[in-house]
Amino acid sequence: KDGNEKLKDVTIIAATNRPDRIDPALMRPGRFHRLIYVPLPYEQTHLEIFQI
């Protein structure tokens, strides 16, 4: 098997801070169904995170 078979009930989550470096082959249609941009937090949020 080459890893292209369909998997049932499997979710894969990927994250990067350098989307410009992702191989275009990974971004072909059918590979990732949703892209979500998460912006950097505001300064106040940074402070709250560091207080945890």
- Shortest CA distance to 5 belongs to which of 30, 34, 33? 30
Domain residue ranges of the chain, discontinuous segments joined by +: 1-52
What was the pLDDT predicted at 11? 84
In this structure, what token pair is assigned to residue 30?
């059918």
The model's pLDDT over 17-35, given as tens digits with 9 standing for 90+, comes to: 998 999 999 888 888 888 8
In this structure, what token pair is assigned to residue 35?
């892209």
The owner of tokens 């912006």 is: 39
- Shortest CA distance to 26 belongs to which of 1, 7, 4? 4
Alpha carbon of residue 1 to chain centroid: 25
The model's pLDDT over 5-20, given as tens digits with 9 standing for 90+, comes to: 777 888 888 999 998 9
- Global pTM reads 0.51
